[in-house]
Amino acid sequence: MSSDATPDPYAEPIAFGSRMQLLRERRGMSRVVLAGLLGRSPAWVKQVEKGGIGAPGLDTVLQVAEVLRVRNLAELTGRPEPRVDLFVGPGHPRLAAVRAAVDHLPLVTEREAPPVPHLRARLAKAWSARHRAANHRDVIGALLPDLIRDSELAVRQARRPEEWRAAQAVVAEVYSLAQFFVAYQPDSSLLWRVAERGMMAARQSGDPHAIGVAAWLMAQAHRDSGPGHYDAADAVALETARFLEPLLPDGTDDVRAVAGALAFEAGYTAARRGEAGTAWRYWDSARAVAERLPEAYYHPVTSFSRGAMGAHAVTVAVELHSGPEAVRQVARADADAIPSRPRRARHRIEEARGYQLDGRPDLALATLAQAHEAAPETITYNGYARRIVLEQSESKVTARRRQAAELAARIGLLAA
């Protein structure tokens, strides 16, 4: 190791402040930026890092973990037990089978690939099952291995260019489904393989809808990788939106919906940056697209629709760390307008974040319980939900602490 390499925070026992500084520097983040994201002064950050202030309370530790995208609290606290992984959920029992299907690309086979229309019908059923299921990862995890192998085989056995492009579009959508399964599980390299294969297949298909969906998911993968990837998230979302723009007047509702979803993704990333004006401007653009869609329309992959715009507004507000605005948007949003159970659970989590920001922890916990009822696997794999539950499990209010502990047990938050 070179003398100027960043030290390993596990190498020897060191104070919280020193760990925070090491992890901040690994992110390439200045004290000024970290202070701004924490709502603190740069002097406070410096004092903590230099040991002038002791380790802060749990709520601040969790906020630091969120900003620095620390996946395991032990990286900040130096305490390996109990192990709490905030941003990555537990490995799903079906993860190994899905990974094996992604990694296994045989060059020789005597098996005949299913026809593309047959694969499309299976995909449609898979998306429908995902939206209906409470444990959606279990459902699609059972379907994905065969879908991945069969769609890849269809590409290899295509005899004409148009058959090959159609098969590539199916592969792209299969990997889009796979990304929903893999996200927030403990295999980031698999997530990127899935996202990149989906994007490559979509581009080779030449299908605007497939390209838009793959780009939408790729933008999310970049954004969730942290501030250093926000520019890449914007580049993917905005360049693809420009590609789709001339196609919209005569395009299908699906293509329009993907364009709207990409506009919102740009707003989401802007909100993560703290750029309120830009975030709401992109939200307005997405809403304008949604209003041109049929009232009952709901995109099967992105969940983009008229009814989802209220949920998107809540997300923008919580990403901007505006509790009062988030609660105002919660009151205007209609969760029942979201037919997908996992997407509705995700919206409930965003509502809970709004209540937490607004100093209403009891409402936050009650809303997380609603999220768990809608789709238990969504809350299990969501870092923000886990953070709220963990924070409230140490509340001084007995009833609140008990409620948080019960919810923590249901989602396996404190499992070693």
What pLDDT score was predicted for residue 414? Answer: 56
The CA distances from residue 221 to 190, 248, 306, in Å, are 12, 25, 24
Q: Are residues 73 and 163 in the same domain?
A: no
Q: Quick check: is 262 in a domain?
A: no
| pTM score | 0.81
Q: Quick check: is 68 in a domain?
A: yes
pLDDT tier for residue 81 given thresholds of 50, 70 and 90: low
Domain boundary among 146, 180, 206: 206
Q: Are residues 108 and 202 in the same domain?
A: yes
Structure tokens at 142: 């059972």
Q: At what angle do helices 208-223 and 188-205 cross, to 10 degrees?
A: 160
Spell 156-172 as b/e; 16+ CB within 10 A means b. Answer: eebeeeeebbbbbbbbb
Please name the residue ranges forming H helices in 7-135: 16-26, 31-38, 42-49, 58-67, 74-77, 95-103, 116-132
Domain boundary among 185, 206, 227: 206
Q: What is the mean pLDDT of the chain?
A: 90
Q: Quick check: is 387 in a domain?
A: no
Least confident of 60-69, 127-136, 186-195, 348-357: 60-69
Which of 219, 223, 271 is closest to 240 using CA atoms?
A: 219
Q: Quick check: is 301 in a domain?
A: no
Q: Are residues 119 and 196 in the same domain?
A: yes
Which of 139, 189, 193, 197 is closest to 170 using CA atoms?
A: 197
Give the torsion through C-alpha atoms of 345, 349, 352, 356, to 10 deg.
Answer: 170
Q: Are residues 67 and 100 in the same domain?
A: no
Q: Quick check: is 131 in a domain?
A: yes
> Higher pLDDT residue, 265 or 89?
265
Distance, in Å, from the CA atom of 205 to the CA atom of 158, rounded to the nearest integer, reads: 13
Q: Quick check: is 7 in a domain?
A: no
Q: Quick check: is 150 in a domain?
A: yes
Residue 159 φ/ψ, nearest 5 degrees: -105, -25
Q: Quick check: is 165 in a domain?
A: yes
| Total domains in the fold of the chain | 2
Q: Are residues 51 and 128 in the same domain?
A: no
Range of the domain at 197: 92-206
CATH number for the domain harbouring residue 27:
1.10.260.40
Domain boundary among 43, 77, 111: 77
